[in-house]
Amino acid sequence: MKEIIQQIKNMDIGRIEEDVSLKKYTTYRAGGIARCVVYPKNISKLVDLMRFLKQTGVVHKILGRGSNLLFSEKTYEGILIKLDEFDYIHFFGRGKIRVGAGASLIKVSLLAAKKGYTGLEFAAGIPGSIGGAIFMNAGAYKSDMGYIVESVKVLTSDLKIIHLENREMDFHYRSSYLQKHPDYVCLEAIIKLQKGKKEAIAEVIRDRRNRRLESQPLEFPSAGSVFRNPEGNFAGKLIEDLGLKGKVKGGAMVSDKHANFIINRDGATSDDIKYLIDLCHEKVLKNYGIDLKIEQEFVNWE
């Protein structure tokens, strides 16, 4: 692995970090050590890196802001790629934004609100990157990225850059075309919003922020909702009705404020968190026959 990292350094791809804690890269604040994290300077350097990794067969993963990932406590013996340099946000035309995959979804939402554009208020409390939000079709309050994304620039598995229109992105509840093509990399998106009244937009954001503070354990590290709500029901209610609210494993806990959140209460390990995720999933399946869809992705557990 040292030889691979040295070769990447020689390619001048961008900033490189070695042997760093994955607690730094996930909102759960848990996980083992990442052997190498690379921050490509631009698209051209990203293409060079991806070509090299494919040729050498090195395990790799694009990492956004880690808001939907749970790494194991093992060392990640591969290359993590962060697109933090792809964080540009350009407003143009009437309500259109060209935004890089590495930009903060919250930041884009708040900037749009400040300029008086409506449509992104739902995202003001979602701590992810634009790329991750598009991949997951992140949403809240009966809206999601599928309503506002006009087109997406992606890097394909054969290292071609293409543009996908909204209809080609196949946005559905918490899913997109990119989930069916995990080797594709979101590079940037064009977002289309509508003109609105700044005061009204700001009021919606404030109101929803207050509701989140009252109903969600935002004071602790978590990855947001653990499970998707099954049709006609709520995952949190099912978990709470089984008496699992407040269940503790090591430093992790099923939140006593919202049972669909598992929080890192006090130095939780990934194993603590996964134990509670698996427990809630198994209990709901056994008692209700409902196979809850887990929102988080488990990485390096093999």
Residues 64, 293 contacting (CB under 8 angstroms): no
Alpha helices (H) in the chain, listed in sequence order: 2-10, 43-56, 105-114, 130-136, 177-180, 198-215, 235-241, 270-288
If 0-12 CB within 10 Å is exposed, 13-18 middle and 19+ buried, where does residue 164 land? buried
Structure tokens given for 159: 């290292």
Which among 29, 98, 174, 228 is annotated as catalytic? 174
Identify the active-site residue in 35, 121, 151, 295. Answer: 295
Long-range contacts of 161-165 (CB under 8 A, 24+ apart): 161/43, 161/187
- Strand order through the sheet with 33-40: 14-21, 33-40, 76-82, 60-63
Return d(Cα 6, Cα 12) in angstroms, integer.
10
295 assigned to active site:
yes
Catalytic residue among 104, 225, 255, 270: 225
Q: Kindly give, in sequence order, each residue whose CB lies less than 8 Å from that of residue 69, ignoring residues fewer than 6 positions away.
A: 26, 28, 63, 223, 296, 297, 299
DSSP H/E element including 91: strand 89-92
> Is 225 in the active site?
yes
Q: Counting beta carbons within 10 angstroms of the beta carbon of residue 90, is it exposed (0 to 12), middle (13 to 18) or buried (19 or more)?
A: exposed
CA distance 43 to 47: 6
The DSSP secondary-structure symbol of 197 reads -
The set of catalytic residues is 174, 225, 295
